[in-house]
Amino acid sequence: EIVLTQSPDTLSLSPGERATMSCRASENVRISYLAWYQQKPGQAPRLLIYGASSRATGIPDRFSGSGSGTDFTLTISRLEPEDFAVYYCQQYGSSPLTFGPGTKVDI
Amino acid sequence: QVLLQESGPGLIKPSETLSLSCTVSSGSISGYYWSWIRQPPGKDLEWIGNIYYSGDTKFNPSLKSRVTLSVDTSKNQFSLNLSAVTSADTAVYYCARIIWGLYMDVWGKGTTVTVSS
């Protein structure tokens, strides 16, 4: 199975700053089949990005994804107060589907 | 906007079978894949398996021997059965719509299941 590693574990930033986080796969994720989710405490995850770089419906353009192969990045260009959450990557290029351990963005 | 709602017991005993249902509202279950995911306390999200509205299934090999998925299109529901549970199965269980069996675009709010005697 493909193991996903996310870094850093925690990003301590302020509103208005840029957040950049990484997701690294233990082997190539075929066709850039990688998604990003946002999860706030007590809530379900919300899809942000699929196909490594396509924003899901209703997701603001301050969220962007990039990468291919084994290295992927999620960038939040200017943090809004509601963006402080945990971000997970998920690969769907091979079975079983797997998730990374998450990066927490906090103030 | 499709809404998903999990339902089932919040507490079950070791060795019993966990049964959860997910009701799909404001949309049809037909034509889509549906998924179960869980998150043990303080741990990563874990994909359990997918079911197509026609009944085709795919499972995480780590759980395959204990998991049964079913779908009832007349009720717009799909269900998860997990047998022989242990404390390691204590988790928040989510149902989700999964696009082409790949990534989850709509999630339920999740239901907490505790395995304890």
Q: Residue A42: pLDDT above 90?
A: no
Hey, of B2, B45, B94, which one would you mutate to test binding to chain A, going by the most A CBs within 10 A of its CB? Answer: B45
Reported confidence tier of residue A11, pLDDT bands at 50, 70, 90: very high
pLDDT single digits (tens) B82-116: 999 999 999 999 999 999 889 999 999 999 999 99
**Cβ–Cβ below 8 Å for A95 and B58:** yes
Q: What is the pLDDT of residue B103?
A: 93
Q: Give yes or no for a contact between B55 and B71, defined as CB atoms under 8 angstroms apart.
A: yes
User: Mean per-residue pLDDT for A16-36?
Assistant: 95
pLDDT single digits (tens) A65-83: 999 999 999 999 999 999 9
Name every chain B residue with its beta carbon within 8 A of the beta carbon of A29.
none
**Cβ–Cβ below 8 Å for B47 and A97:** yes
pLDDT single digits (tens) B23-70: 999 999 999 999 999 999 988 899 999 999 999 999 999 999 999 999
Reported confidence tier of residue A107, pLDDT bands at 50, 70, 90: confident
Q: Residue B81: pLDDT above 90?
A: yes
Reported confidence tier of residue B73, pLDDT bands at 50, 70, 90: very high
Of residues B61, B103, B109, nearest to A90 (C-beta): B103
Work out the mean pLDDT of chain B and round it to a whole number.
Answer: 95
Place of tokens 């997970």: A88
